[in-house]
Structure 1
Amino acid sequence: MQTYRLEAGDDHVQKLAHENDPVRAVIELVWNSLDADAHHVDVVLHRNETDVVVGAEVTDDGHGMAPEDIATEFKWVGNSWKRTALRSKGERRPLHGRFGQGRLRAFALGTQVTWETVGDRIDGKRVQTRIRARATSRTDVEVSDAIETGAETGTRFIAEGKESLDPLDRDTASERIGTTLAPYLITHTGVAVTYDGQRIQPADNIARDTVLPVEWEHDGTLHHAKLRVIEWTKAKERTIHLCDGDAVVIDTLDTAPGPDFTYSAYLLWDAMPEHHDQWLLARMETTPTVLGGLLNELDQVLDDYLDARRAERRRELVEEWKSGNVYPYEGEPASEEEKVERATFDVVATSIRRHIPKEKSKKRLTLGLLKDSIQQRPGDVGALLDEYVGLPAEEREQLDRLLRNTGLSRVIQASTDVTNRLEFLRALDLIVFDPEAHKMVGEREHLHRILERELWVFGEQYNFMVSERGLSAALDRHLELLGEDRADKTPVKRLDGTVGRLDLLLSAAATEHDRNRHLVVELKAPKVVASLTELNQIKSYAKAVAKDPRFASSTTQWDFWLVTSEIDDDVRQEGQSARPRAGPGFRTRPARSPRRPSQGLGSRLGPDHRRGQAQARLLPEELAT
C-alpha cells in the first residue's frame, strides 16, 4: 500500500470540497463517471434505521483507473490530464473534469471516502485498486496494491460517516442533477444516470428549448457564442451554466433572473474552459474583459428572452380568461386611458397568476377586485397585493420591474397621457439641464434607460428595433422589416474595422409614400460636451451603412442623430459649415441656433443609397422638449 500526500493545504482542500453542498458533490462524481466513458451511472443513497440519509454510493461501468493514473489523479489539484485533453480517452466524448477538483468534493458526502476501481494497466493487465481518504487528514490518500482481476472495468465510490445528508433526500436534488446534466444526456442517448432508484430523463421534462445567438465585441474583435434556454415543466430550477461549446458545464452562476420562470440557461462558448472560476471577477472588473463583455451581453439576451416570453404568456393567459368568461373587461377599449388601464391590469394579473384561485367563481371575483383596485387606488396596488396575496419578495421585485420597464408604474397614476408626458418632460429638463442634477446622470445607466421607454420623444411614428447592439444586429432588423434574410453572415464593420455599438435604432414603417425610415440615436450623458470625437462616432455609423451594400434599399431612409446637452466650437462650426464634407452626394446646411444647448447632429441616407451614393445632410435637431 502507498500513501500519496495531496500537494495542497488542508484548508484549501476543505474550501474546494464545498462540504455544505452534497448535491454538488454528487454531480461532480457523476461527471467523473461520464468522463470515464461510463454508459450507466447509479447513485444510491444510504439511509439509517430512521430513514435519514447518512451516506452515498456512485457506481459506473467506465474504463476505471489504472495504478499509473491514480498518482496523477490524486496527488495534484488542478493538474489533471483532462485540462489539456478535449475528449475522453475511449469514446471521444466531451470532458467536464478538467480542473482536478471533482474528487475533493467527495468530502461533502462523508468523513471517510473510498474508491474501488478496476482498470487496464499499460501492460494490458486488468487490475483492481482501492483508494481511501479521511476528513481528519484530507491531504493524505491511501492507495492499495493493485490486484489482478477478471472483473469488468468501472469505479465504485462509497462515502460514509455523515450524520445527515438531508439535501440529497429532497426532490430538488434529482431536479438539480437532471438540469445540470441535461444537454449531455439529451445528446448522448446511450448514457443512463439513475438517482435513488429513478432514472434521470431531462428530455421528458422540457417545456421549451430555445437557442439564441450571442454576439459581443472586445478589443475590436467580434465574438460569437450561443445561449440555450430550456424551460422545465416540473423542475423548480432557475440557473445559468457557463459551458464549453459541447454544453459541458464549466461554472454555474450564483443567481439567475426571472423568478416567474423555471429554466436552465446554458451559455455555450468554446473558450469558456480558459476562463474557469473567473466569472465573479469579470463581473467586478471596471475595465471590460472578454468574459465580462460576454456576461453583459448574456444579461441583455436573457432579459430580452424572458420579457418576450412574459408578453407571449400574458397574451395566452388573457385569452384563456376571456374564453372562460372571467376576464373583467368586455369588448374593445373605449379610450386610450382604458387601453393603458387594461395593459396595466394584464401585467399585474398575469404576474400573480399562481395566487389566483382555480375555481371559476373565485377567479372571476379576484380578477374583478384587482380591476377595481387599479381603477380606484392605482398607487396602492403593490401594497394591496402584499397585504392580501402575500407575494414573496422575489415575485414582488419582479412585478415592480415589469411595471417599471413597461413605463406603467407612472402611467397608471396619471389621468391622461398628456399629463404624464408633461411631467416626464419637466423631469427630463431637470436631469439634463440642472447644473447639479446633470452631473449625476449617466448615459447608459440613466438617460439611455429612460429614453428607451419613452420613444415618443423622438417622434410618435417611431417603433423600437435595437438597443445597445452592433451594426450587424441593425442589419438583421432592417432586413427583417423588408422580409429578407441575411445570406452573408460577415459582420458589419466601420471603416476602422470595428463593429460599433448603437445606442438606439428606431424605425417608422410605411411612412412618406410607403417608405421605411430608420433613426439611429447616439446618446451622451448631460455632462459630456460633444467634440469631434463624438461627432465622428455617429458619422462612422452612417458611413458603415452607406458602404455596406446589404443595407441597400430604394424604400428606406436612414437618419443618424447625436444627442447631447452641449457641443464645443469645433462641432458647432462643423454643423454650420456649408462646404462638402464627404465627397459626391454629401451636402450640408447651416445649423439653427437651438433654444437649449441640447442638440442632435445627424446624417441622412436617402434612396440613392441603393446605387452606392449616400445623399446626406448634416443637420441639427433639438431634443424635443
Structure 2
Amino acid sequence: MSARDLEVQLTDDHIRRLASCRPVEAIVELVWNAFDSGATEIDVRLIENGLGGVQSVEITDNGDGINYESIDLTFGDLGRSLKARQKTNSRGIPMHGCRGEGRFRAYSLGQRVQWETVTITGQRYTIRGEHAKAKKFEISEPVLEDALSKGTSFVAENIFNVPIAIPSREALADRLSSTFAHRLLGDPKVKLSLNGDAIDPQKLIAHKDTTVIQSPHGEILTNVVIWKSGKKKELYWCDASENARDHEDVKLASDFPFSIYVSTKAIDDAIEANMLGIKDMAGLSDLRRIAVNHARGVLSEYTDDRGSKIIEGLKDKGVYPYSIPPVGEVQLITRGVFDACAAKIFSSVKAVSSAPKDTQWLTLRLLRNAIERSPEEMGKILRELFGATDEQISDLYKLLERTTLSGLISTGKLVGDRLDFLSGLRQIVLSDEYRKVVKERSELHKIIEKECWVFGEGFSLGTSDETLDSVLSYHRSILHHGEDTIDIEVDSERYAKTIPDLVLGSQYKLEDERLLHLVVELKRPSVSISFDQKTQIERYASEVSSDANFDKDRTSWVFYVISSKIDKRISDDYLGKGPSDKGQLPTSSSNMKIFVKTWGQLLQDAHTRMAFLKDKLDMRSTRDDGIEYLSKKFPAIMEKIEDRKDTAKQIVHKKSGIIMDGLMPNEAIKNAGDRSHI
C-alpha cells in the first residue's frame, strides 16, 4: 500500500520558531495531545544509549488515536485544529490544544518524528516527518486492526542534532508533576508515568491551598501548591476546567518550591477568540498581581507553621540554645530570626538535620552566637562543618536580607554599647572613686576620641592633641577639598600652649552649604571651669575666626570646654539661660558659638538623643556594664586607672601623719592622681 504526502502551508520562519522550543515544552505538548485524545494511560520514556545519553523519546497512550478521515485538518492546517471545534474529548473533558502546534514542536526532540496510531475504528497507520522537510508529512495507508489496541505511539529520533539538550529524567518528572497535577489529582482513572514510574503529584505535595477570589475580572480559582522538593517557582494559567494552558516563572521570594494555578473563564474567552497568546490577554497583569499576592500569604503562613514545628522538635530534643523567653524588641526579633534560620538550615542541609544530637547542640549554639554577633559568620560555619553548598548559604543570606535582623541587631548593639559607654564615662568623670585618679590628656582624652558620637552624630575625629597650626591646616584641607596647598604661618611661640584636646570635624554640610566644626577642650574631671578656662576657649575661638584662611561665609564653628563643675560666677554672669542658648558664651561672630558644659550636661544630652531607641529596644545599662565596656575597649588605660584607684583605696586614714607604703596618706592620694606630666 502506498503512502501519500501531506503538505502544510507554513512559512519557514514559523516552523523554525515552533521547532526551536525547549524540549520539555514539546514533551508537555505531546502529553496534552494524548489527554485530548481521551487517553487514561500515558507513558513517557527517555531511551538511553550505552553511554547513558538519551537517544530517543517515546510517548505512548491508550487514547482514541488520530482520526484518519480528518488527518488533513489535524495535521495539514495550522491554527485551525479540529480540537478548536470539538471542545471536549470522548470522555467529556475539555480539550487543551486548539492550534495544532504540537506536531511542529516535536522537532525540538529529534530530527525524525513518527506517530503510529490505531483509531477507535481499528485503523492503523503511520505519520512520519523530518525536520529538513518540516512542511511535509508522510501518511501511510491505513490497515484494519483490532480496535481494542487503540492509541498512539510517538517517537523522536536522531536527537544528537537537537540544539537544546533533552531534560534529565528528574527534571522532566518535576515538570510533568507540576503541569499535570490538577488532571492527575482530579481524575483517579488517569495515569501518567515516566519510564514506567508513576507520576504521582500527591506524594510530592507538601501543602495545597485552594481559594476562590473575587476580582474585577470575575471569579478566580487559585490553587497554591507547595512541593516537597525541586526549585520551581511558577504560575500556570488555566481554563475554567483547570487545564493548564500556559505557564511562566514567578519572582516571589520563598524557601520552598511552589506552583500557582490560576483558573478563570477569562482564559476560555481568550482561547475562544483564537488569541495568539494568553499572555496577550487584557487584564492579565491584574490577575497575576492578585494571584501572586495571595500566594505570598499562603507561603508565609506555611513557612511560619513549618518553622514552628521544626523549632518545637529541636526543643523536644534538648538542643535548642535558649532556655528563657525573649524580653524586649531586640530579643524578640533576634529570637525570631534565629528560629527562621535554624528552621531553614534543618530543612535544607541534610548533614545538619541528620547529625548526632551533640553535633546539633553545638551547631545551634554556634548559630546563635553568629546571629547575635556576626551574621556573616553563619555561612562559614555551615560550609566548614557540614559542607553546605554556596546555593544553600546564599539562600540563608537571602532569608536574613528579608528580615530586619541585620539592621536591628546592629542598632541594638550600637545602642547597647553607647549606653554602656555613657554609664562608664559617668563613673570615671563624676564618681569620687574614679574622677580624682583619671588623667586628662593621656587617658580621658584617648577614651573620648574613640567615642566622638557623644558630641553629636555628625562629628568624627579630625585631629587630636595638636598645636593650633595643625588644627588650622586640618580645617583648611577640609574646606579646599584638594585645591592648591596654602601654607599657614603660625607663630609657634605664640601658639605653643594653645592646644585644644580634640577637634571634631563635621561629616556633613549644613542646609546652607556651610561646614560645621566642633572644637572641644576636655578638662580634668576634678577641675572646675573658671575664668582661666573661659579665657582659653575664647582665645581658641578668636584666633580661628580671625584667620584669613577660613572663609567665614562657608564655615561655622562650635567650641566647647567641658569639665565636672562650672564656677558660679561664670554660670551666673556669662552663660545663656534660655532653651536655645543655655550654656552659651556671648560672641561677636555670627559663624561661631562657644559653650561651657559640665560632664553631667554632656551625658544628659547624649542620653536624651538616645532616649527613644533606648525605650523602644528596652535596653538598660548599669554601672558595672559601663566599667566592663570601657575595660574591654580601653584595657591599657582602664588598667592604669583601676590600679591608681585601688592604691587610693588601700590608704586607710586612721589618723593624720601615718605613713602607708612609704608615703603620707595625703601624699599617696596626691601621687595616685598626679598629673604633673600633663
TM-score, normalisation: structure 1? 0.59
Does the residue aligned with 1:155 lie in a helix, a strand or coil? strand
- Of the three residues 225, 231, 235, the one matched with 2:226 is 231
Q: CA deviation at 1:348?
A: 2.5
The answer to whether the 8 A contact 2:55-2:157 is kept is yes
Provide the residue aligned with 1:91 in structure 2: 91
2:342 paired with 1:349:
yes
Q: CA deviation at 1:183?
A: 1.0
The answer to whether the 8 A contact 1:10-1:137 is kept is no
The answer to whether the 8 A contact 2:116-2:152 is kept is yes
1:277-315 deviations in whole A, cap 9, x for unaligned?
A: 756567xxxxxx411100111221111111111111221
Worse overlay, 40-49 or 399-408:
399-408
Provide the residue aligned with 1:209 in structure 2: 208
1:437-473 deviations in whole A, cap 9, x for unaligned?
A: xxxxxxxxxxxxxxxxxxxxxxxxxxxxxxxxxxxxx
In structure 1, list runs of 5 or more residues that go unmatched. Answer: 283-288, 420-425, 427-433, 435-625
1:34-76 deviations in whole A, cap 9, x for unaligned?
A: 1111122232333334343211222222111222321112122
**Which structure is higher in helix share?**
2
Summarize the alignment of residues 503-522 of structure 1 with structure 2, pairs less than 5 Å apart. none
2:315 paired with 1:322:
yes
Summarize the alignment of residues 243-282 of structure 1 with structure 2, pairs less than 5 Å apart. 243-255=238-250, 257-273=252-268, 274=270, 278=277
- Of the three residues 351, 373, 379, the one matched with 1:376 is 373
Provide the residue aligned with 2:119 in structure 1: 119
1:158 counterpart letter in structure 2: V
Q: CA deviation at 1:403?
A: 4.1
Worse overlay, 319-328 or 404-413:
404-413
The answer to whether the 8 A contact 1:53-1:164 is kept is no
**Which structure is higher in strand share?**
1
The answer to whether the 8 A contact 1:258-1:398 is kept is no
Provide the residue aligned with 1:138 in structure 2: 134
Alpha-carbon distance between aligned partners in 2 of 1:408 and 1:32, rounded to the nearest angstrom: 51
Q: CA deviation at 1:390?
A: 7.9
Alpha-carbon distance between aligned partners in 1 of 2:123 and 2:375, rounded to the nearest angstrom: 74
2:26 paired with 1:22:
no
The answer to whether the 8 A contact 1:259-1:398 is kept is no
Alpha-carbon distance between aligned partners in 2 of 1:134 and 1:397, rounded to the nearest angstrom: 45
2:253 paired with 1:241:
no
Does the residue aligned with 1:38 lie in a helix, a strand or coil? coil
Q: CA deviation at 1:28?
A: 1.6
1:105 counterpart letter in structure 2: R
Give the direction of change, closer, same or farther, for the CA distance of 1:12–1:385 in structure 2 (3 Å limit): farther
In structure 2, list runs of 5 or more residues that go unmatched. Answer: 417-456, 458-510, 512-678
1:138 counterpart letter in structure 2: A
Provide the residue aligned with 1:291 in structure 2: 284
Provide the residue aligned with 1:602 in structure 2: none
Provide the residue aligned with 1:79 in structure 2: 80
Alpha-carbon distance between aligned partners in 2 of 1:179 and 1:186, rounded to the nearest angstrom: 11
Provide the residue aligned with 1:58 in structure 2: 59
2:180 paired with 1:187:
no
The answer to whether the 8 A contact 1:209-1:231 is kept is yes
1:30 counterpart letter in structure 2: V
Alpha-carbon distance between aligned partners in 2 of 1:364 and 1:49, rounded to the nearest angstrom: 48
TM-score, normalisation: structure 2? 0.54
Alpha-carbon distance between aligned partners in 1 of 2:25 and 2:387, rounded to the nearest angstrom: 32
1:184 counterpart letter in structure 2: R
Give the direction of change, closer, same or farther, for the CA distance of 1:163–1:33 in structure 2 (3 Å limit): same
Summarize the alignment of residues 463-612 of structure 1 with structure 2, pairs less than 5 Å apart. none
Provide the residue aligned with 1:614 in structure 2: none
The answer to whether the 8 A contact 1:126-1:149 is kept is yes
Alpha-carbon distance between aligned partners in 2 of 1:188 and 1:182, rounded to the nearest angstrom: 10
2:3 paired with 1:6:
no
Q: CA deviation at 1:342?
A: 0.9
Alpha-carbon distance between aligned partners in 2 of 1:280 and 1:397, rounded to the nearest angstrom: 32
Q: CA deviation at 1:393?
A: 6.9
Give the direction of change, closer, same or farther, for the CA distance of 1:46–1:294 in structure 2 (3 Å limit): same
1:181-237 deviations in whole A, cap 9, x for unaligned?
A: 111011121122232122222233333221123343xxxx45221221223335554
Give the direction of change, closer, same or farther, for the CA distance of 1:59–1:171 in structure 2 (3 Å limit): same
What is the number of residues matched between the two proteins? 409
1:96-137 deviations in whole A, cap 9, x for unaligned?
A: 1123211222112221111122225xxxx6422221110111
Larger-Rg structure: 2
The answer to whether the 8 A contact 1:34-1:62 is kept is yes
Provide the residue aligned with 2:600 in structure 1: none
Does the residue aligned with 1:265 lie in a helix, a strand or coil? strand
Alpha-carbon distance between aligned partners in 1 of 2:145 and 2:80, rounded to the nearest angstrom: 29
Does the residue aligned with 1:414 lie in a helix, a strand or coil? helix
Give the direction of change, closer, same or farther, for the CA distance of 1:258–1:372 in structure 2 (3 Å limit): same
Q: CA deviation at 1:18?
A: 3.8
Worse overlay, 143-152 or 315-324:
143-152
The answer to whether the 8 A contact 1:259-1:395 is kept is no
The answer to whether the 8 A contact 1:326-1:364 is kept is yes
The answer to whether the 8 A contact 1:337-1:417 is kept is no
Q: CA deviation at 1:379?
A: 7.0
2:155 paired with 1:158:
yes
Alpha-carbon distance between aligned partners in 1 of 2:389 and 2:283, rounded to the nearest angstrom: 36
RMSD of the alignment, in Å?
3.4
The answer to whether the 8 A contact 1:41-1:61 is kept is yes
Alpha-carbon distance between aligned partners in 1 of 2:404 and 2:153, rounded to the nearest angstrom: 58
Q: Percent sequence identity over matched residues?
A: 29
Worse overlay, 351-360 or 299-308:
351-360
